Amino acid sequence: MAGVEEGLKRLIAASGPITIAQFMTEALMHPKDGYYTTRTPFGAAGDFITAPEVSQMFGELLGLWAVDYWQRAGRPAPVHLVELGPGRGTLMADFLRAARTVPAFPEAADLHLVETSPNLKAAQEKSLAQSPLQPHWHEQLMDVPDGPMILIANEFFDCLPIRQFQFTDGGWHERRVGLDDTDNFVFVLAPGTPPTAPDISPAGGAILEISPAAISVTSAIAERIRAHGGAALIIDYGYDQSGFGDTFQAVKGHAYADPLKEPGQADLTAHVDFSLLARTAREAGTAVFGPAPQGAFLKTLGVETRARTLKEKADERQRQDIDTALHRLTDAKQMGTLFKVLAITQPDGPAPAGFEGTA
C-alpha cells in the first residue's frame, strides 16, 4: 500500500471520517507521495492532456491577449506576470515567445510561478530556460509581491479541494470519506451544513459541492486587481450556473477511475463553479467578463488564422496535427464548450479581448 493511502487510513481509523477536501489535499499534495509531488501527469504517456500540451497555439494566443490588455491598460511597469499551477511550463514558454513581439512587455514584466510540486518546478525551469524572463517560484499567491498583475490559471482551479454536502431526511449533511468493514474508503454522511447556502432549494439526495479554496484564491486575485490593477484569466472545465451534482472525479491513464481508489495514484478533480467565482470577484469590486466557452474565446482571438499560418510552413503530417489540435481545442464535443474562460479585471480598465457578446 502506498504512503498516502496508509496515512489516510490511519488518520480515519484514529479520528473518524475526513472531508473530501482533506482526502484530495493529501492525495494530490502529500509532500512525499502526493500525485503532483511524484509525477508529471500530462501528455500522451501521462494521465491526461491539457490545452497547452495539445498545441502551442493556446499559450501563444494567451500571450497576445495579455500584451493587448497590458497596452490598453496604459502599460503599467513593472507588471507581475503570474501563473498559477504552470504544469510543465509549456503554456508560459509559448506565451512569452508570442508576447515578445511587443518587446516593451517582457522589459516591464517579471515572472512569478505559483507551484507546490518540486517535480513540476523542475520541469518548468527546463521549459523556461531560454525564456526572456527568469521565473521566481512561490508556494502560494500570497507570496507574490504586490503590484499590477496579469494572471493566468489553466486547469488550476479544478484540482483545488472541494467539500460536498448532501440534502437527505429534510436536512444537510456533509459527505465525508470513512472506512468500511474491510478497510476500504467509502463515502459516509456526517452532521454538517454548507458554508454558503444555495439559492435554489434542494430535492432529496441533492449534492452541493463547494470549494472553499477556490473562493479564497479568487478573492485574493480580485483584491489585488482592485487595489493595484491588471487582469486575470481563469480557464477550466466547469459549469456557468451553480447547481447540484457530484463532479468529484479521478482520471488515470486517460480514463475515469474511482476517486476513492488508490489515492496518490490518480488525478482528483471537480468541475469549477464559474458563477461562484464570478460572484466572488464582483463582490470584491472587480469587473468580470464571461465565462465564455473556450472554443468561442479562442476563435475570437484568431486561433483559426494562427493555425493557417502554422500550416503554411508545415509538411503534410504536421498540417494534419495542426487541424486535429484546432478541433480538439475548439470543437463543442471536445474542449470547446465544457472548458470555459473567465476574466477578472480592474473595474475602471479596458474590456479584455475575447469576450465580445458575453459580458
| Chain positions contacting ligand SAH, by CB under 6 A | 36, 42, 50, 52-53, 85-87, 91, 114-117, 120, 154-156, 159
DSSP state of 143: G
CB of 121 to ligand SAH, least distance (A): 9
Closest distance of CB 146 from ligand SAH, Å = 19
Strands 339-345, 287-293: parallel, antiparallel or unpaired by DSSP?
A: antiparallel
CB atoms within 10 A of CB 145: 11
Please state whether the peptide bond connecting residue 263 to the residue before it is cis, i.e. omega within 30 degrees of 0: no
* Residues 344, 285 contacting (CB under 8 angstroms): no
Identity of the residue, 95 or 167, whose beta carbon is nearer to ligand SAH in the bound complex: 95
Q: What's the one-letter identity of residue 356?
A: E
Instruction: Please give the distance of CA 85 from its chain centroid, rounded to a whole number.
Output: 7
Nearer to ligand SAH, 112 or 175 (CB): 112
Q: Shortest distance, CB of residue 345 to ligand SAH, whole angstroms? A: 21
> Cβ–Cβ contacts within 10 Å for residue 44, how many?
7
Cβ proximity to ligand SAH, 83 vs 202, nearer residue: 83
Give, as one character, the DSSP assignment of residue 294. H
Nearer to ligand SAH, 202 or 267 (CB): 267
Smallest gap from residue 269 Cβ to ligand SAH (A): 9
- Residue (76 or 295) nearer to ligand SAH, CB: 295
Closest CA to 57 of 24, 20, 97, 1: 97
Smallest separation, CB 140 to ligand SAH (Å): 6
Question: 217-221: which pairs have CB atoms within 8 A and are 24 or more residues apart?
Answer: 217/84, 217/141, 217/157, 217/160, 218/277, 218/280, 218/281, 218/284, 218/344, 219/280, 219/281, 219/284, 220/141, 220/142, 221/141, 221/151, 221/281, 221/344
- Nearest approach, Cβ of 153 to ligand SAH (angstroms)? 7
Min dist CB 155 to ligand SAH, Å, is 4
Q: In 3-state terms, what secondary structure has residue 139? A: coil
What residue is closest to ligand SAH based on CB?
Answer: 85
State the minimum distance, in angstroms, from the CB of residue 68 to ligand SAH.
21
Nearer to ligand SAH by C-beta: 52 or 293?
A: 52
Which one-letter DSSP state was computed for residue 77?
Answer: S
Least separation in angstroms between CB 346 and ligand SAH: 24
User: Residue 76 or 85: which CB sits closer to ligand SAH?
Assistant: 85
Name which of 162 and 206 has its Cβ closer to ligand SAH. 162
Q: Which is nearer to ligand SAH, 23 or 42 (CB)?
A: 42
| Smaller CB separation from ligand SAH, 54 or 73 | 54
Cell 493587448 locates to: 68
Name the grid cell of 5: 493511502
Burial bucket for residue 143 (CB in 10 Å: 0-12, 13-18, 19+): exposed
Given the DSSP bridges, would you call strands 185-191 and 267-269 parallel, antiparallel or unpaired? unpaired
Compute the least distance from the CB of residue 159 to ligand SAH, in Å: 5
Residue type, 283: E
